[in-house]
Amino acid sequence: MRRYFFPVLMGIAGVAVLMSLGFWQLERMREKRAYLDEIEARIHNAPIPLPEVPEEGRDKFQAVFAEGRFTGEYLEVLAGQTGASPGVLVIEAFALPGGRRILVQRGFVADDRRAAPRVAGEARVEGNLHWPQDANAATPPPDEKTGLWFARDVAAMAARLGTEPTLIVASKPTGDGIAPLPVDASGIPNDHWGYAIQWFLLAASWAGMTLFLLWRIRGRND
């Protein structure tokens, strides 16, 4: 029986580890689902007044409203939409009563409408607070000739337009033919079910290989 001890021990240990990883992924899936449900609730709740000091951890995706005026100072971020011509996201400085200035992502404009005039003026903005993480080490800096940005960077955009690093992504039209692109949770993956299946399949394979090894050992000693 001693010749079976080590293969059986390794088989049981391997299956136990792989199964535990699968169950861990199931738990992560439940946690991610709860997180996504919380985000959806924040997105679709009735908007509240813009907080005095928004915080990413507490307020990300929070539905808010603000009243003030568009200043006419804006940036354009390269963007595209399925079924539409290439275009840009318009992010504009928004002045609030009392002197605060924030950023508002007004929405998408196709290339052939980029030259259309935009009217600065009073407005009420409804949308969601967001701190997008679009830029990475491979993202080029803004084009100095065209002024076109290639990713949203709230801190850098705020510095360029002289606002606080607060961004509202408009969920309703803000005028000038700009189509709003409301935030949603579709871009946040929840792939843990697939990972769990992979670990469980590996556990089944490990068990099968262990049984095959035991069969081979028995055959050599018969």
Q: So what's the pLDDT on residue 128?
A: 93
pTM, full prediction:
0.71
Contact 192, 32 (CB under 8 A): yes
Q: Work out the number of other CB atoms within 10 angstroms of the CB of residue 213.
A: 15
**pLDDT tens digit sequence for 46-55:** 899 999 999 9
CA pair distance 116, 178, nearest whole angstrom: 10
What's the pLDDT tens digit per position in 167-203?
A: 999 999 998 889 898 887 766 677 888 889 999 999 9
DSSP H helices in 45-148: 56-59
